[in-house]
């Protein structure tokens, strides 16, 4: 079985009260980048994942996880 990337970014971002644009500005990317990460279209680099976790005051593992294909 292949593992895919699960994403909780949107849930944690909205709990933090941030829009996609606000989060994007804080980590130095475009709003579209945040949107594509949230929708599983784009897998973020390690650096971007760490920046997102830092800005959202959480762990990378809380934002992203491996899920098994069934």
The token duo for 4 is: 């895919």
Model-level pTM?
A: 0.89
Check which CATH number belongs to the domain holding 18 and give it: 1.10.260.40
Residue 69 has pLDDT above 60, yes or no: no
Range of the domain at 56: 3-68
4-16 pLDDT, tens digit each = 889 999 999 999 9
Residue 1 has pLDDT above 50, yes or no: no
- Please report, for residues 1, 39, 55, 70, the alpha-carbon distance to residue 44 in angstroms, rounded to integers and kept in the order given: 22, 12, 15, 24
Please give the Cα distance from 60 to 40 (Å, whole number). 15
> Mean per-residue pLDDT for 57-67?
94
Residue 30 has pLDDT above 50, yes or no: yes
The total number of structural domains in the chain stands at 1
């Amino acid at each position: 079985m292949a593992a895919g990337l699960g994403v909780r970014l949107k849930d944690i971002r909205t709990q933090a009260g941030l829009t996609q644009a606000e989060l994007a500005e804080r980590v130095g990317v475009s709003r579209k980048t945040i949107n594509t990460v949230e929708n599983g279209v784009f897998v973020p680099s390690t650096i971007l994942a760490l920046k997102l976790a830092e800005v959202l005051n959480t762990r990378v593992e809380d934002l992203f996880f491996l899920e098994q294909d069934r």
